[in-house]
């Protein structure tokens, strides 16, 4: 669908916007191709997500001869460091667009994964020129730097740019676009632990990371060729031929006025929605990172621990599909309540985990959280605050979310080290979920 506005402001990336071909020349709405590219981009971020890192945790403990708490602290430090930079990096999204940021982030993530496959060799080489007492410190520094880069380019920039790129091509159909992404990610991330475990068993943890790096690098090339940043750069409008004629219907589903980052941060709703996503990310990250240990404490095997992600994905798919459809018609605050309810269910089920009925509630809680995560973290920012400063606003929120995901594994580690169980940490999360459910009642779209 061609835009009648020929004076659309050209961004710095517009010079290469139509390389290697002009998307407006294809005989269908190009947003569908961007949707596929964005989905693949989020899937490519899996090795930088906790669900991907957690499979390698025990092998890193053995290879670097560090305790679980020190590995968790390195993960915390690296993730906090990435969170500090993501907010500023979101501004680069506004300047260069999702296409180039996602391609560049994927290329950098591939290089980092390749380096991490030699992390024990790198640490050993560096420690060889230092006194023996520095061995653990060097390993900690190497892992912290590696985790920082994996989280920044994977969970941070690649996820942010890929999802936002899709949101720029859809407005009235954002919910359905996110449903496609969410369903794909739910299945993709659910098989990630099993797939990574299969690679490890086949060739070792280092070879597994090298293989994954090649896969991520292939996506980087695909993004350069097929991804595109904004429809206006090609004379098109969001939704294309799928745009509805009556744009006044369901007013909250359309983008709000364009807020700056400073204006968005002064609104009540910004913080409620951000912390709803923070709690879900913190809890899910902590659970994924320590899933084997959590299930072992409850008398269950490593195989059962890893397999828990598959049934949770099926629940997540249903929740994501229904929630995404509803997001085109209802206020987002109601969906935020469902997300926090999922956090509450998961936190309480982990507090009293055993091999019986509580496992069912773990699956239910994870499914509700994961199903709503992409909707709340994706739809909220363009709908509430417009698209002009989408990168800066979503980047700032993402930086807080990433910091929260960093705290989660360490919080759980400290609880386990101090009292021998994870219950103090999970009950704290349950209390936070109750507060967020109550706070969501007033979280309407700012005007």
What are residue 355's phi and psi, to 5 degrees?
A: -85, 5
Residues 232 and 8: beta-carbon distance below 8 Å: yes
CA–CA dist 408, 279 (Å, integer)? 9
Q: Which of 400, 416, 418 is nearest to 287 (CA)?
A: 416
| CA distance linking residue 381 with residue 388, whole number of Å | 11
Judged by DSSP in three states, 6 sits in coil
- 302's CB contacts (< 8 A; 6+ apart) are 292, 295, 296
Q: Please state, in angstroms and rounded to a whole number, the distance separating the CA atoms of residues 110 and 99.
A: 17
- Closest by CA to 269, choosing from 371, 381, 378, 175, is 381
Give me the architecture of the 23-238 domain, per CATH.
Up-down Bundle (1.20)
Owner of token pair 């910004």 = 270
Has this prediction a pTM greater than 0.85?
A: no
Domain ranges of the chain: 23-238, 261-441
Alpha-carbon 361 to chain mean position: 23
Partners of 236 in the β-ladder: 2
- Cα 295 to Cα 260, 274, 349: the distances in Å are 45, 29, 12
Which SS3 state, helix, strand or coil, does residue 111 take?
A: helix
Residues 6+ apart with CB under 8 A from 224: 99, 100, 103
Domains 23-238 and 261-441 share a fold: yes
pLDDT tens for the chain, residues 1 to 447:
444 443 344 444 566 777 888 888 888 889 999 999 999 999 999 999 878 888 898 899 999 988 877 888 898 888 888 888 887 777 788 888 889 999 999 999 999 999 999 999 999 888 888 776 677 889 999 999 999 999 899 988 898 899 889 988 887 777 778 778 877 887 788 788 889 989 999 999 999 999 999 999 999 999 999 999 888 888 888 877 766 654 444 455 555 578 888 999 999 999 999 999 999 989 988 888 788 888 888 888 877 887 888 888 888 888 888 888 888 778 899 999 999 999 999 999 999 988 778 889 999 999 899 888 878 887 888 889 887 888 888 888 888 887 887 788 888 888 888 888 899 999 999 999 999 999 999 998 887
Q: 131 to each of 119, 136, 199, how far by Cα in Å?
A: 19, 11, 35
What is the C-alpha end-to-end distance of the chain, expressed in Å?
29
**What is the CATH T-level fold of the domain 261-441, as seen in this structure?**
Growth Hormone; Chain: A; (1.20.1250)
């Amino acid at each position: 669908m061609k835009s009648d506005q020929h004076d659309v402001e050209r961004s710095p990336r517009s010079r290469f916007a139509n390389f290697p071909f002009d998307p407006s020349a294809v005989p269908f709405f190009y947003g569908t191709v961007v949707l596929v590219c964005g989905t693949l981009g989020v899937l490519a971020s899996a090795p930088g997500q906790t669900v991907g890192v957690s499979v390698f945790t025990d092998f890193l403990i053995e290879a670097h001869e560090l305790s679980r708490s020190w590995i968790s602290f390195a993960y915390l430090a690296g993730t906090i460091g990435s969170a500090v930079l993501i907010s500023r990096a979101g501004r680069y999204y506004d300047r260069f667009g999702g296409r180039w940021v996602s391609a560049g982030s994927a290329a950098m993530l591939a290089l980092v994964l390749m380096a991490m496959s030699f992390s024990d060799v790198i640490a050993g080489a560096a420690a060889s020129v230092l006194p023996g007492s520095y061995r653990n410190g060097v390993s900690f520094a190497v892992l912290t730097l590696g985790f920082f880069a994996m989280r920044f380019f994977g969970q941070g920039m690649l996820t942010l740019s890929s999802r936002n790129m899709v949101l720029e091509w859809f407005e009235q159909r954002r919910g359905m676009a996110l449903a496609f992404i969410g369903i794909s990610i739910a299945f993709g991330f659910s098989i990630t632990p099993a797939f990574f475990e299969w690679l490890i068993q086949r060739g070792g943890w280092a070879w597994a990371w090298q293989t994954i790096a090649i896969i991520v690098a292939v996506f980087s090339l695909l993004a350069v060729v097929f991804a595109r940043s904004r429809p206006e750069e090609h004379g098109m409008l969001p939704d294309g031929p799928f745009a509805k004629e009556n744009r006044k219907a369901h007013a909250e589903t359309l983008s709000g006025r364009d807020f700056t980052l400073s204006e968005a941060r002064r609104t009540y709703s910004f913080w409620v929605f951000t912390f709803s996503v923070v709690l879900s990310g913190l809890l899910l990250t902590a659970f994924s990172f320590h899933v084997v240990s959590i299930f072992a404490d409850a008398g269950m095997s490593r195989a059962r621990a890893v397999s828990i992600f598959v049934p949770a994905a099926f629940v997540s798919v249903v929740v994501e599909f229904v929630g995404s459809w509803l997001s085109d018609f209802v206020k987002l605050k109601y969906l935020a309540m469902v997300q926090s309810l999922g956090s509450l269910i998961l936190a309480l089920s982990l507090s009293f985990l055993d091999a019986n009925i509580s496992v069912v509630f773990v699956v239910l809680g994870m499914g509700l959280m994961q199903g709503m995560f992409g909707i709340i973290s994706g739809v909220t920012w363009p709908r509430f605050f417009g698209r002009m400063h989408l990168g800066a606003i979503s980047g700032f929120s993402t930086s807080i979310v990433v910091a929260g995901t960093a705290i989660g594994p360490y919080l759980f580690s400290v609880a386990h080290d101090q009292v021998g169980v994870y219950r103090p940490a999970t009950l704290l999360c349950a209390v936070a979920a109750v507060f967020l459910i109550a706070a969501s009642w007033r979280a309407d779209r700012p005007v």
